[in-house]
Structure 1
């Protein structure tokens, strides 16, 4: 989910981007077998209206258009200027040409054709796998729970947990930007360059995140755990971007099995550490193998191409904002109680801190089964959010597929806007309903978990809805808008939390405002036909 969605899901790496169709080439007329006497108005070889010939050439395009502006966009993309419109067709500008073409050609709306097949198809099983690989890393926190000593408290958390949280935020932001840059290479059919980008960026991101954890400080065991998590997240980014999410299931198998054993029996610390290292080593090894294969198979003689780095900045900020909002949802209540208990010095009570380790540093939406009071309250919500990420990706593809279908069948731009608005609300409703259902199921399965109250459920749904809308707008190129809105919500919630405000109220206000703004942007922007051509 880190970057623009590829149009065609192809394991072979055939990544393509949507391009405007250029004007059909003028067909060469065959010489007639017998001389034909020209019509009186065609003695010089000119038609009565040169626009008739253009209408014939653009018949299919004009028949599918729902507004003259669509035709004007295609004319301008093909290089038709106002001067050429006046010289060649006797019209003052390209928009006048487009309007007359729109009137000349009868609407047909044939629906999707072989020439312009709907490219937004997603394999639902692949999305299920991606949802699992987003959620399963949280099982690693069962195995590493003993590494977070509670002797030193900072902001209501064990010092090691604070370092892990900082490392998670850094990894989230860095890998979001890295994934987007790699997808930009893939969209240009430069798989080798994408692999080189990942080979350089993933280790760099892991090193930066581990260094950030070391600067914050904490017990040696927790710092080693943070370093291992950073390395895993870098390797996971490589495999996800290159479409090898099934390899991540293999890498996560030791940690998943080990977590199940830990729930049933007491496992020595050495065994837990070996199992965690096995999962990290498998992820790194599989990622390195895939990168090496892509580099060797790539075209080394491809022309040089440079992509500006500044375009990754909004995605880095968006990753940081998503991480902060998710951590506040998981740890907000613990930090709030610590602030209330100790004023603004922020020293925590031992019994409330232990359970916060459940959610601090996971891949989007971590969880831990040490759940008693606070972990049991937020754990099911975090599980629901992580498991729903696969559905979120599928719904992004589904929205774009249905929007393209609406573009092919709508008769007016207003009708298209209404249809896309309904599609948007429908996809959002399906996603939020599924999140609520997953939370209810996780609450039943989580030992001792209380039922989620209406305010808590509302805060979780607003967070999930905000992130889904932000991902959708990111896919359409509104990266700065989504990054700034989510970042503003994250900063506001963080400041409010550290000053003692109620975390649920903060999430309702922060995520609610973000969801409202994102919806206000998405409705009009995605209702324009030019966004879907």
Structure 2
């Protein structure tokens, strides 16, 4: 039945109480024409898109790009066929673009109802900065363990083994922490605790084995093993959000380092203080892991996380460790390579004495960079919070890109200024450290800027690109250093190139609105 129909009751007798019939064919008096619409009298035709613009006014007014409106229309089920049939437009994107032009921008701006998800506790960042930097004081307590009167590969005997163990720990724990955070992001605290409980001892064992393979004095190897155990425990406590417990574990070493600076302390006492900090860190980590593992509830859903996603974070940790160690030990290694070339080629020039080779800014570089990591973390949160605010207050996508670019440069400037101040202060306070020159300061700032930009891009998911950029810089600097090139020049070129590439990557990538939704 394709024609109009109606129901006619009680027609044709009692046996047919209801039947279907067509509309009558008789002529009717034509109805009077409707009153013309005022828009038609003015020669205007009503656009069906106006009704849609009125219905979606709030969404269109808050959008900073037509694609936001197109995404909403598609999620609401508007297809290209419906756009053509209902609104006379070829597709949903054309509908979105015209809606974007029709509706005036009315950005909401910051309000009390808007809950910023990127608020950071500044005091927590201060505590994390301290727990990153305070372990450096342990080197004051364990300095005599490295047999500084003997040199091996141009370094105090045992220092190379400790450096290799540090690299292995940084790379492994970076990947371990990322995997544990992935479990926490899926509300699987028990699985995160199991991951840390299994991974941290493996990382400590690998780092200790690497130090043993390199070799050195027995005291230095034990120090490297203790450092590896501490770094594994610290990773577990930091991931579980127990920074204050880690601060408590570092109290014996911090107090002991202050006493060592004032008076001479016997070697057994120094060793006991170091062991106390390591034992506290490991004990507190074990306690927290047990609590987290027992407190988590199983939901019965099997979930697997591919381990290959941790590879870029492993490479990133190795690259960061290598770049930092080159900043601290580069001059010493350069002098050792230079002295070795004099011996091999019987060069008539004088070789620098070992005492001069040991006068390097290793300590200040480590302290400045590690202490600044607390501020770096706070600035990461601050950038994301300000980017979200810019997303809500920008009229166009171009305006948003300009605002986020300014926020990026502002955060980077604050971080580099702080690194410069900390580096200068650490150089003054560190016993026997040489004064910091302009080239050294420039190299340090380029390193700090590269690391902060890499951390920012990592936070937005650009893990592979940041890992490869930093790893390329680390490999280039290492090869150049071993061939006798000047370490400061290498850092200026390597870290400078990495900083430029990371900035060129971060600007366009983080200037897209979709990255901040």
Give the TM-score taking structure 1 as reference length.
0.82
When the two chains are superposed, the root-mean-square deviation of aligned CA atoms in Å is: 2.5
Identify the residue that residue 330 of structure 2 maps to in structure 1. Answer: 332
Are 1:185 and 2:183 an aligned pair? yes
Corresponding residue number in structure 2 for 1:312? 310
Q: Out of 320, 323, 337, which is 2:321 matched to?
A: 323
Query: CA-to-partner distance for each residue in 1:47-85, whole Å, 9 max, x for gaps?
Result: x87766765664433221111022234445667654565
The 5 Å alignment of 1:78-477 reads 82=80, 85=83, 91-113=89-111, 116-150=114-148, 153-343=151-341, 350-352=354-356, 355=358, 373-374=359-360, 377-477=361-461
Residue pair 1:183, 1:241 contacting (<8 A) in 2 also = yes
Confirm or deny: 8 A CA contact 1:156 1:348 kept in the other structure.
no
Superposed CA offset, 1:440-496 (max 9, x none): 322333345443111011000000001001101111111111111100000000000
Structure 2: gaps (5+ residues): 1-33, 37-45, 345-350
For 1:413 and 1:255, locate their aligned partners in 2 and report how far apart those are by CA, in whole Å: 52
Residues 156 and 349 in structure 1, CA contact (< 8 A), matched pair in contact too: no
Which consecutive unaligned segments of at least 5 residues does structure 1 have? 1-38, 42-47, 356-372
Relative to the length of structure 2, the TM-score reads: 0.85
Deviation at 1:174, TM superposition (A): 0.7
**Contact 2:136/2:366 (CA < 8 Å) preserved in 1?**
no
C-alpha distance in structure 1 between counterparts of 2:302 and 2:50, whole Å: 44
CA displacement at 1:503 relative to structure 2:
0.4
| Higher RCO, 1 vs 2 (CA within 8 Å, ≥6 residues apart) | 1
Q: 1:206 to 1:378 in 2, by over 3 A?
A: closer
1: CA distance between counterparts of 2:364 and 2:246?
A: 23
Cα deviation, residue 147, structure 1: 1.3
The 1:84/1:187 distance shift into structure 2, 3 A limit, reads farther
Number of residue-to-residue matches in the alignment? 469
Shift of 1:271: 1.4
Residue 99 to residue 176, structure 1, CA distance change in 2 (3 Å): same
Query: Contact 1:155 / 1:348 at 8 angstroms: preserved in 2?
Result: no
Residues 47-86 of structure 1: matches in 2 within 5 Å? 55=53, 58-76=56-74, 82=80, 85=83
- Deviates further, 56-65 or 322-331: 56-65
With 464-473 and 86-95 compared, the bigger mean Cα shift is at: 86-95
Cα pair 1:344 1:499 within 8 Å, conserved? no
Q: Which has the larger radius of gyration?
A: 2
Cα deviation, residue 149, structure 1: 2.1
| SS of the residue 1:184 aligns to | helix
Distance 2:176 2:83 in 1: 44
How far apart are 1:272 and its partner, in Å?
1.3
Asked whether the equivalents of residues 255 and 275 of structure 1 are also in contact (C-alpha less than 8 Å), the reply is yes
What CA distance in whole angstroms lies between the structure 1 residues aligned with 2:502 and 2:252? 40
Distance of aligned partners of 1:427 and 1:295 in 2 relative to their CA distance in 1, 3 Å threshold: same
Alpha-carbon shift at residue 416 of structure 1 (Å): 0.9
